[in-house]
Amino acid sequence: MNPEEISTELVRWDRREFLRRLDDVLRVYVTAMGYSPGLIGSRRGFVAGHAQRDDFRAVATIEPATGRLVGIGYGYHSGPGQWWHEQVRAGLDRPAARYWLSDCFELVELHVMPYAQGHGLGEAQLRALLDGVKATSVLLSTPEGDTRAWRLYRRLGFVDVLRNYLFPGDARPFGVLGRLLPFDSPPPSASA
């Protein structure tokens, strides 16, 4: 399918709609990340649990004619005791952890189906997702490498928080990137 031939609509999803479309969310996730579809079953409980977190929000890119999910972005307020929050905190020194994690929105997933990438859908999802977030910073992790995702985050002012970080259960190195909120605030310096 040619992305120029599809019409898309960006919509906000509440917890109920996100959970109703959970299989579609997971399908976009594994396809965009290049994971085996067999991973869907093992991730279902984790992702469903994310929808119960404080300040959960989600945006979806849909093909209006078919209802097909083309892209998804979601996150929530990151806090002590949450797995990802604790992993990142362990990788930072105390001042950096306080700076980045004390009032942080965790961008958990931001994906667009491969056939529709490169047309601004990811940026639109990211901006819509973060619009109105009350946290002072946003953090995310993404596999290391020169990818569209890295270029998008850099273009939008995300800076290095941790590089080549190894999360338990994944042999790939990840970059943890951060940015101050709202988007009209200046990006932090790389030394923050």
Residues 133-154 pLDDT 10s:
999 999 999 999 999 999 999 9
pLDDT, mean over the chain: 91
Domain boundaries, the chain: 3-180
Residues 38-69 pLDDT 10s:
888 888 999 999 999 989 999 999 999 999 99
Residue recorded with tokens 């002072």:
136
pLDDT for the residue numbered 190: 45
Q: What is the largest CA-CA distance in the chain?
A: 50
The residue-averaged pLDDT of 1-20 equals 83
Amino acid code (one letter) for 93? D
DSSP states of 109-157 = EEEE-GGGTTSSHHHHHHHHHHTT--SSEEEEEEESSS-HHHHHHHHTT
Query: Domain 3-180 sits in which CATH superfamily?
Result: Gcn5-related N-acetyltransferase (GNAT) (3.40.630.30)
Please list the active-site residues.
153
Please state the pTM of the whole predicted model.
0.90
pLDDT for the residue numbered 3: 44
Residues 151-187 pLDDT 10s:
999 999 999 999 999 999 888 899 999 999 997 755 5
DSSP 8-class letter at 35 = -
Answer yes or no: are the C-beta atoms of 52 and 76 closer than 8 Å: no
